Amino acid sequence: MAARLRRITTEIRKLEAVSSIFLIETTPVTQQEDKITGRVLPNSEPYSEGEYRIEINLPPDYPFKAPEVRFLTEIYHPDVELPDGKICLELLSVEKWLATTSVVDIVKAVVDMIDKPKLDNPLNTVMALEYKNNPAQFREKAAEYIKKYALH
């Protein structure tokens, strides 16, 4: 238990150092739950126009089991399930998870996923097809979501 708490404390310090892509809102230390919430700051258009809250749920056997990550802010994106905000990152899969993977690595992977959608295996195939075949319409819908839901 003490080793887990030390690990989480170290992870929070590392997150504080990447404020250009993630702004911490709450941590297990501040809320007495095993969740970290914060805002990701993507770089690509149109997503760079907003900030998006995510939740990183640390399981009791973290770091030996991967956290669950989901969007709390609705975002129009092929790799985010609406309305529950679930995502699918290979890094978090049972087969690929390593206990040495940091929360910063997870946040970077989330930002990378937003900036570069994984169109070969999306969670929302309709959005992925729209992204590929009608990018102007996709950007318009994404911009509507940003205006309506994103934090600024």
Residue 100 contacts residue 72 (beta carbons within 8 Å): no
Catalytic residue among 12, 18, 24, 88: 88
φ/ψ of 81, rounded to 5, equals -80, 130
Selection from 87, 78, 89 nearest residue 122 by Cα: 78
Q: Do 117 and 76 meet the contact criterion of CB atoms below 8 Å apart? A: no
To the query of whether residue 104 is one of the catalytic residues in this protein, the response is: no
Axis crossing angle, helix 135-149 with helix 125-133, rounded to the nearest 10: 120
| Active site (catalytic) residues | 88
